[in-house]
Structure 1
Amino acid sequence: MLDKLIKTSDIDIFATAEIGIETAKREVWKVEPSSTAKNCRNFIREIVDTLDLQPNPEKPVIALSIGDPTVYGNLKPSPETVKAVIDIIEEGLCNGYAPSVGYESAREAVAEYLSYDGVNFRAQDIVLCSGCSSSLEICITALADGNEGHNILIPRPGFAIYRTLAESIGVQVKYYNLIPENNWEADLQHLEAQIDVKTTAIVLNNPSNPCGSNYSEEHLRNILDIAYRHRIPVIADEIYERLVFPGKKFISTSSLHSGVPILVCGGLAKRFLVPGWRLGWIAVHDEIGAFEHIRKSLVSLSQRTIGSNTLIQGAIASIIQNTPQSFHDELASTLALHAQIAFERLSNARGLTPFMPDSAMYMVYEINLRHFPQFENGLDMAKKMMEEESVFCLPGECFQIPGFMRIVLTVPQDLLEEACDRIVEFCNRHYIE
């Protein structure tokens, strides 16, 4: 035994010496990131961080840039929502791990919540995720493979996270255009022209970020018809589902019974005003049995993070069932009022064309840059408006549409009015015939 120890020790000493020699040859550490890390880019941050924003010190900053309805504190979750979480915390039964796809009771609650307009989801159709962004990531990863040269179609303008999630795993994105003057409907000819043999999914965002559009049944059917003819599944980003203005109706893609297999992504974040609670979901709508293997992949991919927030899972049935419709109606009415205020005020700005939304939390306006030759692009204009008026809007470059800007409608009404007036003053001051 002693001989063995001596021999082993000698080997270790010599090995250590050799390693030391090799290490000495290296002048510096060099640890290379993975290809996924290299490909992962936050395109909005890349744009915004280059602006070097300096507000006017004489005017308080009004940020119309962040899609978080809770920032200013004027929009709060319902008392019923808050109480549901407090009750679960005090009960103390949801502090441990849950199944990676979520508690059965929580999945049943979401399935029931999404079962309307002739659609019937079951608990086994639901995968709970850490926010809707996680839902989108799992869906894109399940359907597209960068090693196979796959691509997915995403809307332009559209939420930048689609590109981030796809390109980080080597999946190419191809854009299909939305038409501003037609309520931001998809250009159907352009969409179909982008499809090739490597296209594995179409991302459909309705209601839309950044446009605030709400598609008609006819238009949704037209998109789904293209998907059906080309045998391409749809990832339906419906995080703003039912968050439409009074008099409007939200139509879920799953309610149209198109024969297209659809992964519906959603969550509590927007309609219930709790984005930080990180409770999203995937609802599998598959009338033709095309997703047999995809269902298994969704479960496998969900196991990477061992599920979503268990406290919110425990509370979700109570949140959904006890939040009164009046809460949702009041939120929609507030956003509609804010949209009308912004539209009317911005219509007085020379060189701007606002587009009235029907839903969600945003408005987009177009800049006629020909009348603002002192600015190279929307980025330059956004920076100057911050410097002079202390108002920050996200330039259209963040959504792949230069020459436009997006504002959020969730700020308090008085701040929204003040911000719009400052934008008008800025544009009228810099406008050149």
Structure 2
Amino acid sequence: MLDHKLQEKINNLTVVEAKSEIWKVEPSTTAKNCKNFIRDIVDNLDLKPNPEKPVIALSLGDPTVYGNLKPSDETIKAVISIIEEGCCNGYAPSVGYENARAAVAEYLSYDGVDVNPRDVILCSGCSSSLEHCITVLADDTKNNNILIPRPGFPIYRTLAESIGVSVRYYNLLPENNWEVDLQHLESQIDQNTAAIVINNPSNPCGSVFSEEHLQDILEIAYRRRKPVIADEIYEQLVFPGEKFVSTASLNSHVPILICGGLAKRFLVPGWRLGWIVIHDEVGAFEYIRKALLCLSQRTIGSNTLIQGALPGILRNTPQSFHDELIRTLSGNAQLAFEGLQTAKGLIPFMPQGTMYMIVEIQMRKFPMFQSGLEFAQKMMEEESVFCLPGECFGISGFMRIVLTIPEDLLQEACLRIAEFCNRYYTN
């Protein structure tokens, strides 16, 4: 039998050894699978601007960055009023206040669409709306996939892969104003496809689908019995001569989850108010509706102050505010389109709406650059202008510029881009 004091020393040594062990806690599979693909690309670029030129960022899809685009007075007053009333400081129903949902339903009821408030779920921004929709329809245990556009915003991939759901891409056609390649879309559908994501108007392309083209897409979804997630965050942000058509207006008999929000059209992305509209003409979403309610209970709803202000924002913001925003964006699009046409080796695509323009880089004319990533990095280094390379959107040899910056800065940026391209262009 060990001496008592010797045994005590052994015990103390064991405790010290245990304390000195490295203790590592493994993150969950969901956390490890979650990746921001734009940050993943941009953070690996060595972005060192030219110290002699101020940086012009044409990369951020936040219309508030430069302070030239502000929400309407009515929008601000609606929030101030709710704060002063003090009636929306507590928890709301997880799907949102009834009057706020009614306001969204009223706002979206046009072109023959009659949205019922009970079909509206309020979320914490449109990205949260998309997360709920992907999560409710797709399941990793069923080896599900979702179909997403290429080029397209990478949030769809982030949200799907983080829960173990794979993505399959369908192509958009640059020669057809970035319409969907319908044959390619249908070829990507298999028995494990849980949903088709449609983004109209499009980020990054700035394209706006016609009613006929949307009908063609939904005809495929109907024939293959696949529900649709319609990302319509840029609804109504279309330029003169164009018309936004919501999927809800087409009587397609396809069950659709429509995602939208205040962020872009009302210029308040940080207020985090999004919505889902359950559009189900055939009764296919009986269980999905109940499951969405369950998912909404994870966060107990969106920001209650903005919910409270929502009726005032949606009903009182004058059409003149929206018209002025369209004038600014379409004017900047025209300015950028004309300015970039002077840049050798670039092919700008005139957008039909949204806040973006996509530009093709004829990489064969710039043999010194191996990729659009190198092109973007070098342009930042020499001209202090940064655009998101097409690799961020699943397509190489392109870049996206934002149209929300002040006109003088946009003009200066286009001059610098043209100088850069003309300097390196090779016949």
Q: Tell whether the structures are fold-level matches, with TM greater than 0.5.
A: yes
Q: Does 1:78 align with 2:69?
A: no
What amino acid does structure 1 have at the position aligned with 2:113? Answer: V
SS in 2 for 1:405: strand
Distance 1:34 1:25, change over 3 A: same
Give 2:333's aligned residue.
Answer: 339
SS in 2 for 1:228: helix
Q: Does 1:187 align with 2:181?
A: yes
Q: How does 1:86-165 map to 2 (within 5 A)?
A: 86-165=80-159
Q: How does 1:204-283 map to 2 (within 5 A)?
A: 204-283=198-277
Give 1:47's aligned residue.
Answer: 41
Which of the residues 374, 381, 384 maps onto 1:380? 374
SS in 2 for 1:220: helix
Distance 1:349 1:289, change over 3 A: same
What amino acid does structure 1 have at the position aligned with 2:43? Answer: D
Give me the TM-score of the superposition, normalised by structure 1.
Answer: 0.95
Distance 1:21 1:271, change over 3 A: same
Q: Does 1:401 align with 2:395?
A: yes
Q: Does 1:287 align with 2:281?
A: yes
Which of the residues 60, 63, 82 maps onto 1:66? 60
SS in 1 for 2:118: helix
Residues 337-388 of structure 1: CA distance to partner in whole angstroms, max 9, x if unpaired? 0000000110111111000000000000001111101111000000000000
Distance 1:336 1:23 in 2: 68
Runs of 4+ in 1 over 3 A off after TM superposition: 20-23
Give 1:358's aligned residue.
Answer: 352
Deviation at 1:23, TM superposition (A): 7.4
Distance 1:174 1:113 in 2: 33
Distance 1:271 1:305 in 2: 25
Deviation at 1:126, TM superposition (A): 0.4
Deviation at 1:29, TM superposition (A): 0.8
Residues 239-271 of structure 1: CA distance to partner in whole angstroms, max 9, x if unpaired? 000010122110000100100000000000000
Deviation at 1:30, TM superposition (A): 1.2
Pairwise CA RMSD: 1.5
What amino acid does structure 2 have at the position aligned with 1:314? Answer: G
Distance 2:399 2:423 in 1: 18
Give me the TM-score of the superposition, normalised by structure 2.
Answer: 0.96
Deviation at 1:181, TM superposition (A): 1.3
Distance 2:229 2:63 in 1: 24
SS in 2 for 1:365: strand
SS in 2 for 1:282: strand
Distance 1:133 1:357 in 2: 23
What amino acid does structure 2 have at the position aligned with 1:408? Answer: V
Residues 9-32 of structure 1: CA distance to partner in whole angstroms, max 9, x if unpaired? xxxxxxxx89x7597187201100
